[in-house]
Copies of this chain bind each other. A is one copy, B any other.
Amino acid sequence: MGKKKFVKAITSRDEDFAQWYTDVCRKAELMDYSEAKGFIIYRPYGYALWENMKNYLDNSFKKTGHENVYMPLVIPESLFLKEAEHVEGFAPETAIVTVGGNEELQERLIIRPTSEVLFCNHYAKVIESHRDLPKKYNQWCSVVRWEKTTRPFLRGSEFLWQEGHTAHATEEEARKEALDMLDIYEDLGKNLLAIPFVTGVKTEKEKFAGAVDTYTIEALMHDNKALQSGTTHYLGTGFAKAFDINFQDKDGSLKSVYQTSWGVSTRLIGAVIMVHGDDSGLVLPPYLAPIQVDIIPIMQHVDGVLDKANELKKSLEALNIRVRLDDTDKSPGWKFSESEMRGTPLRIEVGPRDLENNQAVIVKRYNREKITFKLSDITESIPSLLKDIHEAMYDRALKNIEENTREATDYETFKKIMNENAGYVKMMWCGDEACETKIKEDTKATSRCMPFDQTPIGEECPVCKKKAKHLVYYAKAY
């Protein structure tokens, strides 16, 4: 019993990636569906992933002078309608409260799909002088966007996120903020999620409703689809003008503030699953993992086995390593499968024969490598093993991007590559939305971003043959 039964329930990743993904979400107990369509339950293990991301980011935000606030859940409809582009982008997907305290409301309340208008309305009240700037606020909350097709963590009617909203005295400072926050997101990928991102600027068609420029971090999933994993926006003065957010500058003149907003969400959990996971389940990068080491005793009824397992546990805990000892009455094979399904980076097996030989077996989850260690060496080896695993997982993901990024200088090649299910294809672009639309119709691929390194790979847009203005990363995307 044990192992086989547990693993059997999971679809193979290469057979049906979408089903594999859903299986992992369910079997690793990350989430469950609720009775309200599109609204999911974040189970303890799934929520713990979000908490670890949240703690990491919150610390980065605070170190860079940001303050947390909490804005209301609802936006009166009249306030919501103030910034035209923004409304156009979000109105179709809002949920609306029309009844409160058994009475029909006089004004409908929009559940926040994002909180730009709430922050703007507040900033208009509290900003008067250049001395009040910059304002660098962030909030952790859930937002609601009505979605027809939903997938756990990737697209849902409700998701958890952080949204930063800042106001500055100069365009330069605001633009820097939008890029600085992109750096913080990249750092999160690099140092916590073991996910390398392709970064750049969104095209006009793909940018945020109301932004001047949208910057993005794009991750590449195992099925070669891209996942937009976070965005930062330079908003210019559009919102400031709609909401009258003015300040008296040092020279006495009244000016509009320059704004940014930026956010990442529980979608990052989806990225972690689809970048690192395999046919046995989740594979977690060590610093993100809620449990970093599973200790699994073999023949735990034999004298000394559980004692040694507990001793190991304590010595690892003393190093602040997150460790679990599975001393339940399940079989070791079953425990191995569970540990694999939950993606614990390291598993330590210790049984009577190991004790005799004064050793234990350590198995790395991400590549299944088995190493035999002297018992006395284990504890001090774990921190560097975790570090190595983190780096190897990052490198593997980076290599995957490199191997699945190609260039196209003519449109036939582009279409051929896209139909072969390539990852990213780099191609020059004229800047016309028509070409993006045609590409999407022909191949389902969309422009992911214009990378910061704009070294040209041709002179014309292969779609329309007009002069090329930008280098673009295209991919099919979630």
Contacts of A148 in B (CB 8 A): 101
Contact indicator per residue, chain A 100-128, by CB within 8 Å of chain B (1) or not (0): 11100000110100000010011001100
Query: Does A41 reach chain B (CB closer than 8 Å)?
Result: yes
Whether A35 lies near B68 (C-beta < 8 A) is no
Q: How far is the CA of A118 from the CA of B158 in the complex (A)?
A: 15
Whether B32 lies near A122 (C-beta < 8 A) is yes
Whether A146 lies near B47 (C-beta < 8 A) is no
Q: How far is the CA of A326 from the CA of B76 in the complex (A)?
A: 38
Contacts of A299 in B (CB 8 A): none
Q: How far is the CA of A67 from the CA of B47 in the complex (A)?
A: 9
* Range of interface residues on A (Cβ < 8 Å): 35 or more
Which of B41, B76, B96, B101 is within 8 Å of A36, CB to CB? Answer: B76
Q: How far is the CA of A96 from the CA of B111 in the complex (A)?
A: 11
Q: Which residues in chain A, 105-162, are within 8 Å of chain B measured between CB atoms?
A: 108-109, 111, 118, 121-122, 125-126, 131, 137, 141-142, 144, 146-148, 157-158, 160
Whether A92 lies near B101 (C-beta < 8 A) is yes
Whether B79 lies near A35 (C-beta < 8 A) is yes
Contacts of A253 in B (CB 8 A): none
Whether A70 lies near B95 (C-beta < 8 A) is no
Q: How far is the CB of A244 from chain B (nearest CB, A)?
A: 14
Contact indicator per residue, chain A 43-57, by CB within 8 Å of chain B (1) or not (0): 110011011000000
Nearest to A66 among chain B residues (CB) is B44
Q: How far is the CB of A137 from chain B (nearest CB, A)?
A: 7
Whether A34 lies near B72 (C-beta < 8 A) is yes
Contacts of A36 in B (CB 8 A): 72, 74-76, 109
Using A118-B34, A126-B32 as known contacts, say yes or no to A101 and B70 having CB atoms under 8 A apart. Answer: no
Nearest to A156 among chain B residues (CB) is B72
Q: How far is the CA of A76 from the CA of B36 in the complex (A)?
A: 6
Q: How far is the CA of A158 from the CA of B101 in the complex (A)?
A: 13
Whether B125 lies near A32 (C-beta < 8 A) is yes
Contacts of A121 in B (CB 8 A): 34-35
Q: How far is the CB of A143 from chain B (nearest CB, A)?
A: 9
Whether B92 lies near A102 (C-beta < 8 A) is yes
Query: Does A361 reach chain B (CB closer than 8 Å)?
Result: no
Which of B43, B70, B100, B118 is within 8 Å of A47, CB to CB? Answer: B70
Contacts of A92 in B (CB 8 A): 101-102
Which of B43, B126, B137, B158 is within 8 Å of A69, CB to CB? Answer: B43
Q: How far is the CB of A164 from chain B (nearest CB, A)?
A: 13
Q: How far is the CB of A404 from chain B (nearest CB, A)?
A: 34
Contacts of A146 in B (CB 8 A): 100-101
Q: How far is the CB of A170 from chain B (nearest CB, A)?
A: 20
Nearest to A330 among chain B residues (CB) is B131
Query: Does A40 reach chain B (CB closer than 8 Å)?
Result: yes
Contact indicator per residue, chain A 161-183, by CB within 8 Å of chain B (1) or not (0): 00000000000000000000000
Q: How far is the CB of A36 from chain B (nearest CB, A)?
A: 5
Q: How far is the CA of A70 from the CA of B70 in the complex (A)?
A: 18
Query: Does A9 reach chain B (CB closer than 8 Å)?
Result: no
Contacts of A328 in B (CB 8 A): 131
Nearest to A142 among chain B residues (CB) is B73
Using A39-B72, A39-B73, A101-B146 as known contacts, say yes or no to A44 and B67 having CB atoms under 8 A apart. Answer: yes
Contacts of A100 in B (CB 8 A): 94-96, 146, 157
Nearest to A140 among chain B residues (CB) is B140
Q: How far is the CA of A73 from the CA of B69 in the complex (A)?
A: 19
Closest 8 A/B residue pairs (Cβ) = A101-B146, A39-B72, A44-B67, A42-B70, A96-B99, A100-B146, A95-B100, A34-B72
Listed A/B pairs (21) with beta-carbon separation below 8 Å: A34-B118, A35-B76, A35-B79, A36-B76, A39-B72, A39-B73, A39-B74, A41-B70, A42-B69, A43-B69, A44-B69, A50-B70, A73-B111, A74-B95, A92-B101, A92-B102, A93-B101, A95-B100, A96-B99, A98-B98, A100-B146
Apart from A36-B74, A44-B69, A96-B97, list 15 A-B contacts with CB within 8 A. Answer: A35-B121, A36-B75, A41-B118, A42-B71, A43-B69, A44-B67, A47-B68, A51-B68, A73-B144, A73-B158, A92-B101, A97-B111, A100-B146, A101-B147, A111-B111
Chain A: residues with CB nearer than 8 A to chain B? 32, 34-36, 39-44, 47-48, 50-51, 67-76, 79, 91-102, 108-109, 111, 118, 121-122, 125-126, 131, 137, 141-142, 144, 146-148, 157-158, 160, 328
